[in-house]
Structure 1
Amino acid sequence: MSASSLAPSYAAVLRTRYACRTFGAALLGRLSYGMVSLSLLLAIKEATNSYAVAGTVMALFGLTSVFLSPTRAGLVDRYGPRRVLLPMAAAYALLLTGLAFATSWPGTSGILLGVLAVPAGACTPPLGPVMRTLWSGLVPERRLLQRAYSLDTVAEELLFVTGPLLVGMLARVAAPWAGLAVSAALVLTGSLALISSPAVRGWVGRQKAPAGPAPSEGLVDGVESAPLRRRLLQGGPGLRQAIAVSAAVGMCLGAFDLLVIAFADEQQEPEAVAWVLAALSGGSAIGGLVYGAVSWRASSRLRLAVVAAALGLTLAATGLSPHPYVLIAWAALGGLFVAPAITTAYLIADECASPATRTTAGAWVNTAFNAGSAGATAATGLAVGRLPLPVCFALAAAPVVLSAATALHRSRRPAPNTAALLELEAGRTPDAERQASVIG
């Protein structure tokens, strides 16, 4: 059934041809990402009996995975998922299996674990960015695409809640390294199922650019040169806004997790941490589903500014909570804006990028979020204990509010059509591209 013939709803998204099969395969593979961090941490701690080694190896794994994400997505944009995801997933699964085997022996060298963790992080398949690009092809109608992205964001968040629970269950019946083996099997199975979906058949990757623009100004063998990459990130205010707000949201949430722990310690109620974080995730799921179901008249950039400001101001107010129950309520309220902010950032990236760079644009938004989260966690660790907790909460929320204020100011200006600029720089006008698509 064609997506364009359906009334906009979540059921219509899932009834779209190949949607359930493709989305289910991507979720199966992405469940691995919800399990791998905790599995790796527990397995390394068990094998080395050292938190320092576990933290260092985790940092190496996380940094290579996060900062090479746009590069991996660029390979998918260039060659297509069928030629890239299979070797990438196979290498990633093999390295996770190697880590599982290495951590099954007590006293394993931390150096060996680091040597395995770095290439494993570098080979992490970009299943999330690939799925969001596939949504653009499956449901090209913008109202349905908004619902598809909301559904994708909420499902991904639930995976990162379910994953650690599965790791905990595995740890009770098996050794910690079993979580790594299961993660390897999930990502390989999910990736194979994804690339076998008919929805992937039409994605062949970018072809070599025709002769025309000079190498310094256009494409070189189908790959963006440095000026074109700068145009992608600097020439589109919408994409810059999405990346900036995504990084700020990541900073806010990364700091919030640590601040909740500090608050619970101060109140001498450590069990409150799980309830606060569950309230945040539950609020995010509800907010994402409601947000995706509404047909908005405001522009994506204006919506992103509003939900980001609401998120920042709400989470800043949590620092004034006199009791954990109040903090739980504020966290649930703030969570209502998390998934909408992330969903809108991905929608803007899709709007601003050309078809040949959609996966890379989405990966930049994802990378910004993860990098912001990691950096803020480290900075917050230094601030806690030196500043009052309400001040720490306010400082953690400040980047989101500031990014929203800047985005709100810029959203009043007419934005250039970034996709058209990319096509022009590649030596094709939008009209010529449309004619070519009709002829082909």
Structure 2
Amino acid sequence: MTGIEFLENYRQMFARPDIARPIAAAFVARLRDGGTPLAMVLLVQHGTGSFAVAGSATGAFGLAAALSRPLHGRLLDRLGQRVLLATAAANSAAMLAFVAAVRLGAPPPAVVAVAVLIGLLLPAQAAALRALLPDLAGERLRPAAYAVEANAQELTAISGPLIVGVLVALLPPGGALAVLAVVGFAGTVWYVTAPAARAWRGTGFVGPRRSALRAPAMWTLMLAVASISVILGVLQVALPAFAGDRDATHLAGLLLSAFAVGSLLGGSAYGAGQWRASAVHQLRVLLLVVAAGVAVLAVADGMALMTGLALVAGLGMAPAFAVTFLACDAIATAGRAAESFTWLGAANTAGFGLGGTLAGFTIEWAGPGAAFVVAATVVLTVAALLWARPDALRAGT
């Protein structure tokens, strides 16, 4: 495959404004999602002097966002993508109210309550885009589209905190969160006014409220997503712990960035290829790749080696997520595409939280190396399930 052939899928995709604009607009809108937790922590800690209150507010925001995802997805399926505009406007207003509450010295319970409101009103932008892409990309460009979306997920997680860091240095307390509120709303407006988003309609289904989880394969897919996210949660704790053990805490971000760069490279390569294997087979192989990459981190004994191994370990991450998006598109219950993608988001959040918890206990007991092995074991267990049941992700199973 020549370099030109390798990039042909991306060239064709981004040459089409009907695909490029929603992807770009969704990325801008989701900078709010990537930056809000850090901006919230910094604002609350500055205003109250308490990391406990800051952590409580951020945790409440994350939990509320995760629990409300399926409801937002169901609204998308019923009402279409225009529902994002209403939730984005309400979410931005809640973010500004949060800034005001902290600046005015509101009591901690009130601050946490507004944080919950921000989470409940967070637009399901990722699910909206993932439900839209199959109609736009077609069968041939669909893997590339989902690979770009998986990479965008990584980029928002990286870019959001970086932008917050710059804004905090330039603006008064609360300024970063206020800017994110405006940017998030502007991105949503740009997205919703795109012709492709306007043309996409929910089913308007008014029968019994049957959940997307009626498809048994969705449970298996959510388990796979959760296992992948366990790795992300473990790395967020274990890599800084590894750096701290070597008096290099200031380089913890380098290790996390190396893993993210590897994921971006892997996702880009995956999206440029043409893959004939079924989604379940691709996912089985990628889970093995991801598990092996993380397990090998346990042998690192210095920062330089860990940086290189973290980059290699990340190579399978974005491709694995991209395949789960493809599988979700294939097995989603009719009229429940957006809701199905929000359930994947909930599994992602649950897995991330579980990973962080596992890492904390494991590091206290046996150190960061053991945490990497535990994360790999979780993924290998799910991979074994998929190898034992080749039909586990088949629609209707």
With structure 1 as the length reference, what TM-score do the two structures score? Answer: 0.85
Q: Please state whether the residue corresponding to 2:271 is helix, strand or coil.
A: helix
1:202 maps to which residue?
199
By how many angstroms is 1:389 displaced?
3.0
Work out whether residues 212 and 340 of structure 2, in 8 Å CA contact, stay in contact via their aligned partners in 1.
no
Query: Mapping of 1:287-366 within 5 angstroms?
Result: 287-366=266-345
Deviates more, 1:121-130 or 1:199-208: 199-208
Q: Can you list the C-alpha shifts for 1:258-290, whole angstroms capped at 9, x where unaligned?
A: 111111111112233121111101000000000
Cα distance in 2 for partners of 1:311, 1:33 equals: 25
Cα distance in 1 for partners of 2:303, 2:116 equals: 39
CA spacing shift, 1:135–1:182, aligned 2, 3 Å: same
1:426 maps to which residue?
none
Identity among equivalent positions (%) equals: 28
1:214 maps to which residue?
none
List gaps (5 residues or longer) in structure 1: 1-6, 210-218, 422-440
Cα distance in 2 for partners of 1:230, 1:300 equals: 19
CA spacing shift, 1:8–1:301, aligned 2, 3 Å: farther
Q: Please state whether the residue corresponding to 2:277 is helix, strand or coil.
A: coil
Cα distance in 2 for partners of 1:165, 1:104 equals: 23
Q: Please state whether the residue corresponding to 1:108 is helix, strand or coil.
A: coil
Aligned-partner residue type, residue 26 of structure 1: A
Q: Can you list the C-alpha shifts for 1:39-64, whole angstroms capped at 9, x where unaligned?
A: 01100111110011111111111001
By how many angstroms is 1:396 displaced?
2.0
By how many angstroms is 1:195 displaced?
1.4
**Are 2:118 and 1:135 aligned?**
no
CA spacing shift, 1:317–1:90, aligned 2, 3 Å: same
1:109 maps to which residue?
107
Work out whether residues 97 and 181 of structure 1, in 8 Å CA contact, stay in contact via their aligned partners in 2.
yes
For 2:240, which of 231, 237, 261 is the aligned residue? 261
By how many angstroms is 1:152 displaced?
1.3
RMSD value, Cα: 1.8
Cα distance in 2 for partners of 1:414, 1:97 equals: 45
Q: Can you list the C-alpha shifts for 1:156-210, whole angstroms capped at 9, x where unaligned?
A: 211221111111111111123111101111121111121111102332322345x
Deviates more, 1:312-321 or 1:284-293: 312-321
Q: Can you list the C-alpha shifts for 1:279-335, whole angstroms capped at 9, x where unaligned?
A: 101000000000111111211111111111111121111012111111111110110
2:98 maps to which residue?
99
CA spacing shift, 1:377–1:208, aligned 2, 3 Å: closer
Work out whether residues 213 and 340 of structure 2, in 8 Å CA contact, stay in contact via their aligned partners in 1.
no
For 2:350, which of 371, 383, 405 is the aligned residue? 371
The size of the alignment, in residue pairs, is: 391
2:155 maps to which residue?
158
Deviates more, 1:260-269 or 1:388-397: 388-397
Cα distance in 1 for partners of 2:35, 2:309 equals: 28
**Are 2:53 and 1:33 aligned?**
no
1:280 maps to which residue?
259
Q: Can you list the C-alpha shifts for 1:348-392, whole angstroms capped at 9, x where unaligned?
A: 000111451111111111211111101221232222222233222
Query: Following TM superposition, where does structure 1 have runs of at least 4 consecutive aligned residues deviating by more than 6 angstroms?
Result: none
Work out whether residues 46 and 103 of structure 1, in 8 Å CA contact, stay in contact via their aligned partners in 2.
no
Q: Please state whether the residue corresponding to 2:304 is helix, strand or coil.
A: helix
Higher relative contact order (CA 8 A, sep 6+): 2
Work out whether residues 79 and 205 of structure 1, in 8 Å CA contact, stay in contact via their aligned partners in 2.
yes
Work out whether residues 170 and 176 of structure 1, in 8 Å CA contact, stay in contact via their aligned partners in 2.
no
Work out whether residues 287 and 337 of structure 1, in 8 Å CA contact, stay in contact via their aligned partners in 2.
yes
CA spacing shift, 1:176–1:161, aligned 2, 3 Å: farther
Q: Please state whether the residue corresponding to 2:366 is helix, strand or coil.
A: coil
**Are 2:210 and 1:231 aligned?**
no
Q: Please state whether the residue corresponding to 1:162 is helix, strand or coil.
A: helix
Q: Please state whether the residue corresponding to 2:298 is helix, strand or coil.
A: helix
Cα distance in 1 for partners of 2:393, 2:90 equals: 41
By how many angstroms is 1:243 displaced?
1.2
Cα distance in 1 for partners of 2:393, 2:172 equals: 54
Cα distance in 2 for partners of 1:300, 1:165 equals: 34
CA spacing shift, 1:294–1:74, aligned 2, 3 Å: same
Cα distance in 2 for partners of 1:229, 1:73 equals: 10
**Are 2:124 and 1:126 aligned?**
yes
By how many angstroms is 1:137 displaced?
1.2
1:9 maps to which residue?
9
Aligned-partner residue type, residue 46 of structure 1: H
By how many angstroms is 1:8 displaced?
5.8
CA spacing shift, 1:170–1:146, aligned 2, 3 Å: same
2:3 maps to which residue?
none
1:424 maps to which residue?
none
Cα distance in 1 for partners of 2:330, 2:94 equals: 36
Cα distance in 2 for partners of 1:402, 1:258 equals: 22
Cα distance in 1 for partners of 2:392, 2:182 equals: 48
2:22 maps to which residue?
22
CA spacing shift, 1:405–1:368, aligned 2, 3 Å: same
**Are 2:177 and 1:180 aligned?**
yes
CA spacing shift, 1:164–1:416, aligned 2, 3 Å: closer
Work out whether residues 331 and 393 of structure 2, in 8 Å CA contact, stay in contact via their aligned partners in 1.
no
List gaps (5 residues or longer) in structure 2: 1-6
Q: Please state whether the residue corresponding to 1:81 is helix, strand or coil.
A: coil
Work out whether residues 284 and 337 of structure 1, in 8 Å CA contact, stay in contact via their aligned partners in 2.
yes
2:86 maps to which residue?
87
By how many angstroms is 1:29 displaced?
0.7
Aligned-partner residue type, residue 313 of structure 2: G
